[in-house]
Amino acid sequence: MSEYNKKTIDMYSLGGALEYIGHNDIDPETEKWEKLFNYVKNALPKDKKVKIIEFGSGCGQLSAMLQESGYDVTSTDVVDTFLEEQRRRGITQIKKYNFLLDDFDNVFGSKADLIISWRNPHLDMDDMRKLFDVVYDGLNDDGLFIINFQNSDVHPEADMLPNGTKYNYKILEDKQTKEKRFYAYFSKDDIEELRKNLFDIVEYHNEGGKEQKNWHVLTLRKASDIAKS
């Protein structure tokens, strides 16, 4: 787990999460959540009951929508304030879980058919590698992984960590956050390196911002163990 991920979690725990929840109350981004909900629903097989786990669910909007539609979904986070917010929204299956440190099987007891990691830009390349391994091991055969990454193409000003991660450590201009936050940016080549041997690409597109390219969005399918070895 990188020092930046740790610092970000500390920042959220020491007031940043309340600030995040407050911004969300002012601008609930309803259309964006509906779009994501439909994207997830369309990716899922229609003919079987699936177990869904969302990593880093924050306020829990997506998990709440999935639960409301009858899906078996568990929302998670590592920050207590976010877990309380998820409870307040009525989510019934909630786990405190740090996907970079905690043992998946101990926390969840069984594998998932879909794992979602949405808008978690606070991970450098090494943290991402770990996340991909954890998701691979946490999924049933043919399980799906939905993830988005901030696009390095729209951040030419970014600095570079020794491990090659493009990043900023900054106050958000549009939201005027009190503390700096770590934002990592990824290229298509970075994503290719992360997913090869582990996942096949089911769907890929860009979205967000004026030019609809702020984020890479992917649905991935777990490749067989043979491909991994």
Ligand X SMILES: C[S@@+](CC[C@H](N)C(=O)[O-])C[C@H]1O[C@@H](n2cnc3c(N)ncnc32)[C@H](O)[C@@H]1O
Contacts with ligand X by CB under 6 A lie at: 5, 8-9, 12, 55-59, 77-79, 82, 98-100, 118-120, 122
Contact between 168 and 155 under an 8 Å Cβ cutoff? The reply is yes
Nearer to ligand X, 118 or 136 (CB): 118
Minimum gap (Å) between residue 48 Cβ and ligand X: 26
Minimum gap (Å) between residue 13 Cβ and ligand X: 8
Nearer to ligand X, 120 or 152 (CB): 120
Nearer to ligand X, 78 or 220 (CB): 78
Contacts of residue 192, defined as CB under 8 A and 6 or more positions apart, other chains included, come to: none
Nearer to ligand X, 106 or 229 (CB): 106
Nearer to ligand X, 99 or 186 (CB): 99
Q: Which position's Cβ is nearest ligand X?
A: 58
Minimum gap (Å) between residue 117 Cβ and ligand X: 8
Minimum gap (Å) between residue 32 Cβ and ligand X: 9
Minimum gap (Å) between residue 21 Cβ and ligand X: 10
